[in-house]
Structure 1
Amino acid sequence: MTVKHAPKPLRVVLTDLNTDVVAAWRTAFAGTPGVEIRTGSILDVDADAWVTPTNSRGLMNGGLDAVIKRHLGAGIQLRVQRAIRDGHGGELKVGSAVCVPSGAAVPRFLISTPTMRTSTQDVSQTLNVALACAAAFQAVHRQNAATPGSIASVALVGLGAQTGQVPARVCANLMWTGHSLFEDHEFTDADDLRATVTGQLDDLLAADRPHRLTVPATARGTRRR
């Protein structure tokens, strides 16, 4: 008899050099299982995948993108842009993400998810961080559906907290929301994901605490079991 084992829970590492972001994460993610919070560079995290906040064209010439390109080599930008060209017509909308092989042992995959359309944009009054974070975790779902168990751990920084000018508390709350959606639901349609996030979280920026998403029955994704 063959016994099927449930996949191991995803190990999530939140790491940033900004101590305000780290402190805000500790509040927003308090009691959330499977999440490690650190102060430090993502380059020092041993994880199967790293998540980088990018722009819609996948130009890795600024912020963390540039740091990762220097670390992994110029070929990583070519792979990201090829994935954007082939799967998204050359422009990756906020609320979408691509996952590409890194060409390195650590991480084995890079997940690029735009927090903004251009390379420099103030997104502090938007829900872009929640959209980007949710899209990054859905990219993990897709990769593991294609190759089960290929991503067992993922590292993220404070999305939008630097170039995007998102305040630390808001960044943490929006990222918690994106993570909570990953815990509950799998989407195959990026438009459905975006509609779910924006339809329920328009008032999140004014809230004092993060909100867990409740996915409507009309959503086309599948609920995790």
Structure 2
Amino acid sequence: MPVDHEKPLLRVVLTDVNDRVVQAWRAAFADTPEVEIHQGSILTRQVDAWVSPTNSRGRMDGGVDAVIKRHLGAGIQLRVQRAIRDGFGGSLPVGSAVCVPSGATNPQFLISTPTMEQSAQNVSETLNVALACAAAFQAVHAQNAKASGSIRSVALVGMGAATGKVPPRVCANLMWTGYTLFQDHYFDDYDDLRRTICAQLDDIDSRPEGERVRVTPPSRTGRR
């Protein structure tokens, strides 16, 4: 469905400790000045929700996942895995996400979205970053549909740029794709999201490395 632009805007913060990721974001998001870009830990960002790239089982044992688990406590992994079990039968597909209460005041929510199936996996030759980023924003839509205005700000890190071995420039461009799709559209389910992105990005290997791709939302759905 098209996004209702009369609803409150979402404050989007991109933050990472890797300078190369930050510089790649600044280039990719140069024409979207409303997106905040910072160098530093996601733990320093005062927002309603943090987005953590995870694996399909929700094992928070590496990368940003492990940092967040140490900060919020072991209970956060239990909540994430319970949501994965209840909503997805125990395995969260790439291109989907869960949103759970964090148990803290900052952030109030944690959105977990897999960039890989296993805890450590090279995803540099996949569309996983675009799928994960779009799914994270889809989770924001879903949470706000349940409780209007509950997520008004969100922070994301460079998805797949560390453990997943995705080059910073590719990471930034694919995250731009996920962000612009969020601006244009929200989906009834994650299956539709995955189909739409994969259909339009399946030839990305033949495109120039620096090219950004804006996914065209399906036109068959109407405004809510």
Instruction: Provide the TM-score with structure 2 as the length reference.
Output: 0.94
Aligned length: 218
Kindly indicate whether the alpha-carbon contact (under 8 Å) linking 1:95 and 1:134 is maintained by their aligned counterparts in 2.
Answer: yes
**What is the rounded CA distance, in whole Å, between the counterparts of 2:140 and 2:201 in structure 1?**
23
**Tell me, what secondary structure is at the counterpart of 2:154?**
strand
The equivalent of 2:214 in structure 1 is 212
Equivalent runs, 1:1-225 vs 2, <5 Å: 6-205=6-205, 206-207=207-208, 208-218=210-220
The CA deviation at 1:202 is 1.9
The one-letter amino acid of 1:124's match is S
Residue type of the alignment partner of 1:131: L
Could you tell me how far 1:34 is from its partner in structure 2? 2.4
Q: Which has the higher contact order (CA 8 A, sep 6+)?
A: 2
Q: Secondary structure at the match of 1:54?
A: strand
Q: Deviations over 1:3-57 (max 9, x none)?
A: xx94321000000011111001001111214200000000000000000000000
SS in 2 for 1:186: coil
Letter in 1 for 2:48: D
SS at match of 1:144: helix
Matching residue's letter, 2:116: M
CA distance in 1, matches of 2:185, 2:127: 19
Gaps of 5+ in 1: none
Deviations 1:101-146 (A, max 9, x none): 0000000000000000000100000000000000000000000000
For the residue of structure 2 that corresponds to 1:13, the secondary structure is strand
1:217 CA drift (Å): 2.6
For 1:25, give the aligned amino acid: W
Distance 2:123 2:65 in 1: 17
CA deviation after TM superposition for structure 1 residue 223, in Å: 5.5
In structure 1, how many angstroms separate the alpha carbons of the residues matched to 2:97 and 2:211? 26
SS of 2:214's equivalent? coil
- The one-letter amino acid paired with 2:219 is A
C-alpha separation between the residues in 1 aligned to 2:63 and 2:56?
A: 14
- Aligned partner of residue 7 in structure 2, secondary structure: coil
Shift of 1:149: 0.4
Q: Helix, strand or coil for the counterpart of 2:114?
A: strand
Which 10-residue stretch deviates more, 103-112 or 31-40? 31-40
RMSD of aligned alpha carbons: 1.5
Distance (Å, rounded) in 2 between the aligned partners of 1:144 and 1:132: 19
Deviations 1:154-177 (A, max 9, x none): 000000000000000000000000
